[in-house]
Amino acid sequence: MPASRTALETAARLGFGARGLVYGLVGGLALLAAFGAGGQTGGSRSALATLIDQPFGRIMLGAVALGLAFFALWQAVAALTDADRRGTSFKGLALRAAQGGSAVIYAGLALSALGLALGWSTGGGSEDAAARDWTAWLMQKPFGRWLVGAVGLGLAGTGVAWIVKGWRGDVLERLALPADARRWALPLGRLGFAARGVVFVIIGGFVVIAAMRSSSRQVRGLGGALEALQAQPYGWALLAATALGLLAFGGFALVQAFYRRIDAPDAEGAVARGMGALRS
What's the pLDDT tens digit per position in 43-54?
Answer: 898 889 889 888
CA 118 to mean position of chain CA atoms: 23
* Residue 260 φ/ψ, nearest 5 degrees: -70, 140
Q: Is the pLDDT of residue 149 over 60?
A: yes
The sign of the dihedral angle between the CA atoms of 224, 123, 48, 138 is: positive
Of the pLDDT bands very low, low, confident and very high (cuts 50, 70, 90), residue 40 is: confident
Closest among 98, 80, 85, 124 to 280, alpha carbons compared = 80
What are the C-alpha distances in Å from 131 to residues 43, 74, 216? 12, 24, 8
d(CA 126, CA 150): 23
CA dihedral 75, 76, 77, 83 (to 10 degrees): 50
pTM of the model: 0.88
DSSP tag of 8: H
Query: What pLDDT does 179 receive?
Result: 86
Which of the residue ranges 119-133, 186-200, 215-229 would you say has the lowest mean pLDDT?
119-133
Q: Is the pLDDT of residue 186 over 90?
A: yes
Query: What pLDDT does 4 receive?
Result: 60
For 11-29, the pLDDT digits (tens) are 999 999 999 999 999 999 9
Which of the residue ranges 201-215, 217-231, 255-269 would you say has the lowest mean pLDDT?
255-269
Q: Is the pLDDT of residue 277 over 90?
A: no
Average pLDDT over residues 142-168: 93
Query: What pLDDT does 215 receive?
Result: 86
Query: What pLDDT does 279 receive?
Result: 57
